[in-house]
Chains A and B, each alone.
Chain A
């Protein structure tokens, strides 16, 4: 756990960096998540105070968007595209393989903290489908062999 005074100090810096930004909450939340790997519950009152919002409003925004995590992800995040263009190239089958090999359902993290499995709806790689993203890296033309290589990589 992050010490609360350290946490509010860092969040204070982030808020200071975004002073004058119009409608700053989303950029602030992205910065918080980049800093902590998730949006800790403890920052909600700090952000509310700093941005002149209610805690309910801040919570409402965090919970609305798929990107913001309430808990840290695994060391690796494997995202598999589930949208139509990838479906047309067998993405559903690859998703089943990944779920089975990792023993994870969508949004779950492995017990050893190695990997979080997430669905994503379109990475814009629709002409080289199926597509995946491992941490920051994009992967196109996914097939079972390439998927197995990715699974080995994220489980290591």
Chain B
């Protein structure tokens, strides 16, 4: 019997290792020869640990599996789900970036190659640098970290810069709550990220790449470190990438628990061994980045999407999406939901479809009160705004942002004043301290929210004013976007800010 049990961190956090031990014991007891593959996650986190068994009809799923129920994998039972590819969650997706994630052994070059791996890099190597830049630009790919800057333009800037050394830096400092797409792809299909970085390297003329990976992701660090060795063995990295004569290699660097290092200039300082303080722009990192050299800084998902763009062509990728948001986006559905996980879809879905249909409402069964989109710096959306199509401009137009596409659902017990206070508290803890609006503003924000909580309605205009100052005057998105969750909470849920005066006052 050939079975798959994810080694993805979420699956392991829900007991996958115990399931593996129980499965092996049960197989031995029955005299069944068991071939076990530790794959990545398919993204149906509510079904983790999801055990899959290979059959003539395809892979049959069982989940959420527990160590005491593994007999069902052999005998069937209520945890049997049928063919995994036929599950509605899988069928409704457009899996391009995540096509292999959860399907293959993440460190098997043969598996990777069998499902399209290397095809993008091979095609890229047959093209001129100009053709590659046009391909990335025409795909419409924009920064999946949240900034939405066109990837092709960034690459063209670095390609055109004259320097003795250039770098590719992968931003894997995925600190936003509600997001885990970077973690999932690094644990489930790490070679796609390496292939994307390699295409970036040979295109802009960089010979060295770094993956700046947060320390909160120990499993991803372990898998990426092994994957770099595997890629070297397969000739994807090294002195001559796939025999092209062009050199490219990658080093994995581990962060140290600073949220602000997800901001690209702060990340570059951290990578240089300095405090993760934000740099003023200009100069752009594309011209003066790591060690002052031209540097491409791209998010994990941006880079991991590059291979499929080259494999299938820019037009095929750009055919998906809406407006200026082309291609697919891995939605990460989290928090208080009946069905949480990763769902890759073309841009354009509404929160109504995502929260009510895909996620099946809340885990607690209570009504949805608010949905925070885009991490701790993203806006809270009330139900009235659930029809906004998922896209960069569409969300910006509603006083929000899509960020890294994390979607966190709250039920009606959420206190939006408390959430606004948390946004400031988080900003105060994580501020790098370089600019005053963020460093001081966050602290004053906590105090001002506390005044409102005590029933001092005069503090509300002060809060609005403070948010204007932070938004306009902060150096980076941490101070600049903290007003999004605060102002959206205040605007859409004013009732939570109308507190009775305390008796003592």
Contacts and interface: CB of A to CB of B under 8 A. Distances in A.
User: Are A and B subunits of one complex?
Assistant: yes
Interface of A: 22-27, 29-30, 51, 57, 60-61, 64-68, 83-89, 120-129, 131, 136, 138-141
B409 interface: yes
B411 interface: yes
Contacts of B342: 127
Nearest to B259: A121
A32 B71 CA distance: 46
Contact of A26 (B46, B273, B336, B422): B273
A128 B332 CA distance: 12
A126 B179 contact: yes
Contacts of B335: 84-85, 87-89, 126, 129
26 contacts: A23-B273, A26-B270, A27-B254, A30-B215, A64-B258, A65-B255, A65-B256, A65-B258, A66-B258, A67-B256, A84-B335, A85-B177, A87-B422, A122-B175, A122-B179, A122-B216, A126-B334, A127-B45, A127-B333, A127-B342, A128-B45, A128-B48, A129-B334, A131-B13, A138-B219, A140-B13
Given A84-B419, A121-B177, A131-B13, A61 B275 contact: yes
Given A23-B271, A129-B334, A124 B215 contact: no
A51 B178 CA distance: 38
Highest count of chain B CB atoms <10 Å: which of A120, A122, A126, A127: A127
Contacts of B414: 88
A123 B337 CA distance: 18
Contacts of B10: 124-125, 127-128, 140
Contacts of B143: none
B180 interface: yes
Given A64-B258, A87-B422, A122 B273 contact: no
For chain B, give the interface size range.
35 or more
Given A88-B408, A127-B180, A25 B273 contact: yes
A20 to B, nearest CB: 11
Given A61-B275, A85-B178, A30 B256 contact: yes
Contacts of A22: 272, 290-291
A61 B270 CA distance: 9
Contacts of B432: 64
Interface in B210-248: 215-220
Given A51-B273, A88-B409, 17 more contacts: A22-B290, A22-B291, A23-B273, A26-B253, A26-B255, A30-B254, A64-B275, A67-B257, A84-B178, A88-B410, A122-B179, A123-B217, A124-B179, A124-B182, A124-B220, A128-B10, A141-B13
Interface of B: 9-10, 12-14, 45-46, 48, 174-180, 182-183, 215-220, 253-259, 270-277, 290-291, 332-337, 340-342, 363, 372, 376, 406, 408-411, 414, 419, 422, 426, 430, 432
A51 B174 CA distance: 29
A138 B13 CA distance: 5
B93 to A, nearest CB: 15
B405 to A, nearest CB: 12
Contact of A126 (B48, B177, B276, B430): B177
A68 B277 CA distance: 17
Contacts of B9: 123-125, 138
B332 A127 contact: yes
A34 B298 CA distance: 29
Nearest to B187: A124
A138 B332 contact: no
A110 B376 CA distance: 31
A124 B45 contact: no
A86 B177 CA distance: 8
Nearest to A57: B274
Contacts of B220: 124
A96 to B, nearest CB: 14
Contacts of A61: 273-275
Contacts of B410: 88
